[in-house]
Amino acid sequence: MTRLLVALLLLAPAPALAWGQNGHRVTGAIADAHLSPKARAAVKEILGTESVAESSTWPDFMRSAPDPFWQRQSVPWHYVTIPIGKGYAGPPPEGDAATALKRFSDMAKDPKESLANRQLALRFVIHIVGDLSQPLHVGREGDRGGNDVKVTFFGEQTNLHTVWDTLLIENQNLSYTEWTQWLLAAATPQQMRDWSSPDPQQWIADSITVRETLYPADPELRYAYVFQQNDTLRRQLSKGGFRLASYLNALFDAAPSK
C-alpha cells in the first residue's frame, strides 16, 4: 500500500468533531465486549495495553496537533455529506469517512505495514465507525452537520451538532463505563443482531433516516427535547458499539497471516 502521508494527501475545510469523548468511549467499550478471539488478539497485537475505548478518542485529540496532516488533511475523514432525499453517491475529491475507513482498514490488517502505521490506522477505524453512528456526521448539505443550526441547550447558546456530540450524553451525568454497562444490559438478542451489520453503507443509510428526526421545531432545547431524543441517543450509541465489534471481527477474521 502507498505510504500513509502520500496516499492520503487531501485538503478540506474543517467541521466540528464527532461524538464527544464519552460517546466514542461508550461505542469502543461496547465493541470490546463482543470481539471475536481473533479480533481481540489482533487489537492487542497492534495497540498493546491501549483499550478500544481509549483509542477511540485519539483522532479527535490529535486534531490539536499543529501538523497540517491533522489540521487539514484528516478533517474530511470524520463525516460524509449527503443531501436530503439522496443516498451515498461516492466521495468528494478530498475523500470522506467512508473512503478513509476503507483505506485505514486495509492498512490496519496489512502485516507488511509498520506498527506505527497500523496503530494510526486502527485508531482511525475505531473512531470512524463511531462517527458514522452519530447521525449528524452523515450530514445534510449546507448546514455542516448541524453546526450551523443555532440552538440553546438549557439556556446556553450552542448548535445542534454539539448537542448531539456531547451535551445530551453529558446531561445524564454518567461515566462512559456506566453508559456501557446500562446499554449492554438493555440490548436484546434481536437488537444485537439488527445492529451488528459490518456494512458501512447500511450505517450511512440508517443515519440519514435518523438525522431527519433530530432537527427541533423550537431552537430552545430543554427537558422536552432530552426526553424526546433519549431512546434515539441510546440506540445510536449501542448501534455504534455493536457495529464496531462486527466490523473488527470481519476485518481481522479475514486478515492475512504474517
Q: Judge contact between 23 and 237, C-beta under 8 A.
A: yes
**Whether the predicted pLDDT of 8 surpasses 50:** no
**Whether the predicted pLDDT of 12 surpasses 90:** no
Length of the chain: 258
Mean pLDDT of the chain: 92
Work out the average pLDDT over 69-85.
93
This prediction has a pTM of 0.91
pLDDT digits (tens, 9 = 90+) for 94-123: 999 999 999 999 999 999 999 999 999 999
Per the listing, cell 476503507 goes with 102
- Give me the phi and psi of 159, to 5 degrees please: -140, 165
Q: Taking the CA of residue 71 as centre, how many other CA atoms within 13 Å lie in the half-sphere pointing to its CB?
A: 4
**Whether the predicted pLDDT of 2 surpasses 60:** no
pLDDT digits (tens, 9 = 90+) for 220-254: 999 999 999 999 999 999 999 999 999 999 999 98
**Whether the predicted pLDDT of 7 surpasses 60:** no
**For domain 4-253, which CATH number applies: 3.30.200.20, 1.10.575.10, 3.40.50.740, 3.40.50.720?**
1.10.575.10
The DSSP line for 41-65 is HHHHHHHTT--HHHHTTHHHHGGGS
Check residue 219 and give its pLDDT: 98
**Whether the predicted pLDDT of 34 surpasses 70:** yes
Check residue 254 and give its pLDDT: 80
Q: How many CB atoms lie within 10 A of CB 13?
A: 9
- Give me the phi and psi of 47, to 5 degrees please: -100, -10
